[in-house]
Amino acid sequence: MHTRSKFSLFITAVFLVLSTNVISANAQDTTTQEKAKQVWQVLDYLAVDYGAAVQNGVIVSKDEYGEMQEFSANAEKQLSELPKTDLSAKLVAQAGKLRNMIAAKASPNEVGNQARSLAAEVLKVYPVPLSPTQVPDLKKGGALYQANCASCHGAAGNGDGPLAKSLNPPPIALSDKERAKERSVFSLQQIISHGVAGTSMPSFAQLSEDDRWAIAFFASTMSYTDADRAAGKKSWTENKSLHNAVPNINALTQATESGLEKQIASSARPILAHLRSEPGQLMASNEDSLALAKKRLSESVQALQAGDKANASRLALSAYLDGFEIAEPALAAKNKELFNDLEKGMGAFRAIVNRGQLDEAKNAEQQLQVKLTQAQDALTTATDDPLATFLGAFTILLREGLEALLVVVAMVAFLKKADRRDVLVYVHAGWVVALAGGVVTWAVATYLVDLSGASREMTEGFSAIFAAVVLLGVGIWMHQKSMAGRWQAYVRDKLSSALNRRSAMMLFLLSFVTVYREVFETVLFYAALWTGGNGGYMLLGMGAAILILAVVAFVLLRTSARLPIGKFFAASSALVAILAFVMVGKGVAALQKVGVFEISTIPFPQIELLGIYPTTQTVVAQMLIVMIVIASVIYNIRSAKK
């Protein structure tokens, strides 16, 4: 067998192994989420119902107490079977402590606190989606409740349905105010989804996710009165400080009345009565635009399942552009790692949908739902920490500014070296106009219109590719001149005519496009970072970055002035070739996000600093740049020898 054939087989085998591992990992993640949900449900059930089994250290219901013992042992066993992490042993130990507390007939308050604390830790270690992807329809939830639940729980939730007397244990009374204080909407949704082992409560997994959330929200309101709802609406409207206690839909689904009382005292009951009855109050907020991304992802999978691949692709793109992209600058400023994971995951999801792979799409969607929930938490709970604001403003400007600075400094150094200072005005005019354009962009984006995700990515993508093409041409020309010699004669006889008005305008355009692209992105990041209380720290970070950029520019200009002109052109050609490589990668990646180019993911590292992304399209574009550079170098060397 030929060596090339053996190598091809080896690469194919490696790719198949990697693909199999990825699919296996996705399946394991889905299974882990389901197990984690079941553990959480058991712990929540213990926290709510233990008081019906033990009072003042005495068993008041043997059946209930036996159930509590069984459930605590089950939780400990399931935790030990979950995938191992650094905190697995701690979770199992806490579960053992809970089981011992129940065996010792500890107070309901102690057991409840231990169970809730452990449940919260389980969700931190094994994250799962905690909220609906669209506003729950409580009217539909009420109809579904009457059709599926009223026969046991009663039409009004009093636990007195026609079948109630024949059931052991009897169905819970959803209208019971004391028990309802300990129950969250998420716990109800989990019970509806999975049922409760050892009871007559069945699973309603046959209903859609949206329908189960609708029933859960409706059931969560059955212990409230119209007076509670009216009082809650009045307080929510008049007292904005209450919004910090329940900042988004994710917080609402997890909140219990008893837990919220620790934050807002007597306001907890009316506030939950209002928000659970009108959850759109939170999901419709602009700051929770990620909810739209979650909804579009779910709709995309549903469309793919129905065989509508074109609509599934459209919805997958909408999830990014209309949902995630809006919150992208704020998330990148506050949690860069999570931002990178989501951006990469969104691209991978679109690629999977475009290939029509339903099972893989379902797994990818579930993982993205979890990460989007984490992003919602990051955006709503992040505080205006002065140090974080300073570092965010500093690193953003330094990172974005260096690329533009290198291009502008290379042009300035070249013109000075060629003794064409009269053309410097075009370069300086380019970056000055770009900065002014950035100010206009900030004003427009802040006060006039919301820049769409598509507009942003198209601007970044096409400007980066334009800059890459121009830089590549300049780099090839510089390398050619570095090989030639007799520089003084060239500068004296040729440069004056070579740098005519047209090429001077091209330098202006290159300076403008390169700087504006970076200013455009920086402005959007700063707009997301700015709040009333942290403006000063943001300005300090920006000032520090500007100072360092000025020092870098000074050093580069001084260093280039001392280089012999041949070495200067050789070094400059290498620099602009690298920048062209970086920019074409970033440009193609930006246009992939808006659907201009397809996304074909490959097992390849992502190095954002170099514009390297794990897709076939970006890698091919960058390899094309490398091939052009290599071909031009070979040609220039041969020409110089002749």
Does 223 score more than 70 pLDDT? yes
pLDDT of residue 173: 92
pLDDT of residue 477: 58
Give residue 97's pLDDT band: very low, low, confident or very high (50, 70, 90): very high
Name the residue with higher pLDDT: 386 or 622: 622
Q: How far apart are CA 637 and CA 642, in angstroms?
A: 9
Q: How far apart are CA 595 and CA 615, in angstroms?
A: 14
Give residue 22's pLDDT band: very low, low, confident or very high (50, 70, 90): very low
Query: Tens digit of pLDDT for each residue in 415-434?
Result: 777 677 777 888 888 888 88
Nearest to 217 by CA among 313, 307, 162, 144: 144
Average pLDDT of span 308-334: 78
Q: How far apart are CA 561 and CA 320, in angstroms?
A: 47
Does 276 score more than 90 pLDDT? yes
Q: How far apart are CA 271 and CA 259, in angstroms?
A: 13
CB 317 within 8 A of CB 350: yes
Q: How far apart are CA 555 and CA 577, in angstroms?
A: 21
Query: Left if phi > 0, otherwise alpha if psi is -120 to 50, otherwise beta: which for 198?
Result: left
pLDDT of residue 24: 40
pLDDT of residue 490: 47
Average pLDDT of span 531-556: 79
Which token pair is 367? 């993982």
Average pLDDT of span 39-59: 86
Q: What is the DSSP letter of 423?
A: G
Q: Per residue in 85-104, is it b (16+ CB within 10 Å) or e — as a string?
A: eeeeeebbebbbebbebbee
Does 59 score more than 50 pLDDT? yes
Give kind and range of the element (H or E) at residue 129: none
Give residue 499's pLDDT band: very low, low, confident or very high (50, 70, 90): low
Does 7 score more than 50 pLDDT? no
Q: Of 34-43, 464-473, 492-501, which gets the smallest average pLDDT?
A: 492-501
pLDDT of residue 16: 39
List alpha helices for 485-564, DSSP H: 487-490, 496-498, 501-529, 535-562
Average pLDDT of span 588-607: 76
pLDDT of residue 14: 36
Give residue 25's pLDDT band: very low, low, confident or very high (50, 70, 90): very low
Q: What is the DSSP letter of 421?
A: G
Give residue 496's pLDDT band: very low, low, confident or very high (50, 70, 90): very low
Residue 253 CA to chain centroid, in angstroms? 20
Q: What are phi and psi of 562, to 5 degrees?
A: -90, -15
551 burial level (CB within 10 Å; 0-12, 13-18, 19+): exposed
User: End-to-end alpha-carbon separation of the chain, Å?
Assistant: 43
Query: Tens digit of pLDDT for each residue in 247-257?
Result: 778 789 988 99
Name the residue with higher pLDDT: 181 or 569: 181
2 burial level (CB within 10 Å; 0-12, 13-18, 19+): exposed
Can you list the positions of beta strands (E) in 323-367?
Answer: none
Q: What is the DSSP letter of 137?
A: -
pLDDT of residue 509: 78
Name the residue with higher pLDDT: 570 or 224: 224
Q: Which of 12-21, 414-423, 440-449, 544-553 has the highest mean pLDDT?
A: 544-553
pTM score of the predicted model: 0.50
Nearest to 330 by CA among 384, 408, 401, 269: 384
Does 83 score more than 60 pLDDT? yes
Does 26 score more than 50 pLDDT? no
Question: Within 10 Å of residue 300's Cβ, how many Cβ atoms?
Answer: 26
pLDDT of residue 458: 59
Question: Within 10 Å of residue 633's Cβ, how many Cβ atoms?
Answer: 18
Which token pair is 135? 């506003």
Give kind and range of the element (H or E) at residue 611: none
Q: Per residue in 432-471, is it b (16+ CB within 10 Å) or e — as a string?
A: eebeebbeebbeebeeeeebebbebbbbbbbbbbbbbebb
Does 485 score more than 80 pLDDT? no
Q: Of 140-149, 241-250, 286-295, 389-398, which gets the smallest average pLDDT?
A: 286-295
Query: Tens digit of pLDDT for each residue in 158-217?
Result: 999 999 989 888 898 999 998 899 889 998 998 998 888 778 899 998 998 889 999 999
Query: Tens digit of pLDDT for each residue in 329-379?
Result: 667 767 778 888 888 888 889 889 988 899 899 988 988 988 888 887 777
Q: Of 56-60, 171-175, 283-287, which gets the smallest average pLDDT?
A: 283-287
CB 153 within 8 A of CB 199: no
Name the residue with higher pLDDT: 452 or 328: 328
Percent share of the chain, pLDDT over 90: 19
pLDDT of residue 5: 41
CB 571 within 8 A of CB 616: no
Q: What angle do CA 26, 288, 310 make, to 5 degrees?
A: 55
The mean of the pLDDT values for the chain is 78
pLDDT of residue 497: 47
Query: Tens digit of pLDDT for each residue in 519-532?
Result: 776 776 676 566 54
pLDDT of residue 561: 64
Does 546 score more than 70 pLDDT? yes
Give kind and range of the element (H or E) at residue 199: none
Average pLDDT of span 292-320: 85
Q: What is the DSSP letter of 322?
A: I
Q: How far apart are CA 490 and CA 234, in angstroms?
A: 80
132 burial level (CB within 10 Å; 0-12, 13-18, 19+): buried
pLDDT of residue 489: 47
Does 537 score more than 90 pLDDT? no
pLDDT of residue 449: 45
